[in-house]
Amino acid sequence: MSNRQTEIALALQVVPPFTDDAALKAEVERRKAFIKQCLRNAGGKVLVLGISGGVDSLTAGRLAQLTVEELREETGDANYRFIAVRLPYNIQHDEQDAAASLAFIKADVEDTVNIAASVLGLGDQVAHLHGLTPERRDFVIGNTKARIRMVAQYTIANANNGLVIGTDHAAEAVMGFFTKFGDGACDLAPLSGLVKGQVRAIARFLGAPESLVLKTPTADLEELRPGMPDEESHGVTYAQIDAFLQGETVSDEAYQIIVRTYDNTRHKRQLPFVP
């Protein structure tokens, strides 16, 4: 393991590889306990999460639902609940996966907020968008979608005195693969420190359908490139990112891409700059 690998793994608090099923189960229990403590600290009883159809929101959503069910059982308080929110932009191209995720999660409450009108309305009012190339405008609007989705989640959470869950994990954090103040904003991030393979392993352990566990990850924010795989954006695979984070040897090209991207996206993982 290089010095940079060690430095980055420590900064992102990367979880060591699961040695067996007992270690995996212990990690699941640790993360449910974390969610419970977050609710207790905030004095809240409601969790909110947007469900995209990907394995990250699937895993975080099922952990949230299991946690509130345990809290109801432990406390006798029926007010603990999890709200799963669908946040499509018009019609989502992989809507069937989102529906399958909801069927697996079995959330106490399912809601849908179509963000299209909000995104388009804002876009019409921002003159700075009008002179951009189609590709650049599509990219900017993609980030707007992510931020509007988070606004919707916080609106629901505020209305219920609840907390918003984020789905960031180490394999996305190292690449800065999230929208600042969009999907990067949340009250708690129960998948933090896990690599992508570990998120999939937890999803499988919880009983998720294999088609969703192994689904090709995509942010799906740009209309000109719908469903573009994350790995195409990264320039490296999640297997390479996971290996890098867990101290294994990767190719020189993959190493350079990961380290360069980590350094270039440092601002995303920090609080705002101050004097």
pLDDT tens readout for residues 52-109: 999 999 999 999 999 999 999 999 999 999 999 999 999 887 889 999 999 999 999 9
In this structure, are residues 8 and 262 in contact, taking their beta carbons and an 8 Å threshold? yes
Helix, coil or strand: residue 229: strand
pLDDT attached to residue 171: 97
Question: Is 77 among the residues known to form the active site?
Answer: no
Under DSSP, the state recorded for 16 is P
Report d(CA 234, CA 241) in Å as an integer. Answer: 9
List the chain pLDDT tens, one digit each, 275 residues. 789 999 999 999 999 999 999 999 999 999 999 999 999 999 999 999 999 999 999 999 999 999 999 999 999 999 999 999 999 999 887 889 999 999 999 999 999 999 999 999 999 999 999 889 999 999 999 999 999 999 999 999 999 999 999 999 999 999 999 999 999 999 999 999 999 999 999 999 999 999 999 999 888 888 888 778 889 889 999 999 999 999 999 999 999 999 999 999 999 999 888 89
> How many Cα atoms occupy the beta-carbon half-sphere of 44 within 13 Å?
20
Report d(CA 170, CA 8) in Å as an integer. Answer: 10
pLDDT attached to residue 242: 98
In the chain, the amino acid numbered 193 is G
Residue partners of 216: CB distance under 8 A and separation at least 6? 229, 231
Domain 18-228 is in which class?
Answer: alpha beta
Helix, coil or strand: residue 182: coil
| Active-site hit among 97, 108, 172, 222 | 172
Question: Is 56 among the residues known to form the active site?
Answer: yes
CB atoms within 10 A of CB 159: 11
H-type helices in the chain, by residue range? 3-11, 21-42, 55-75, 95-105, 116-125, 134-159, 170-173, 196-205, 210-213, 230-234, 238-245, 252-264
pLDDT attached to residue 221: 85
| Active-site hit among 56, 97, 183, 187 | 56
> How many Cα atoms occupy the beta-carbon half-sphere of 192 within 13 Å?
15
Packing angle of the helix pair 238-245, 3-11 (nearest 10 deg):
100
* pTM score: 0.94
Phi-psi region of 89 (alpha: psi -120 to 50; beta: other; left: phi over 0): beta
In this structure, are residues 257 and 235 in contact, taking their beta carbons and an 8 Å threshold? yes
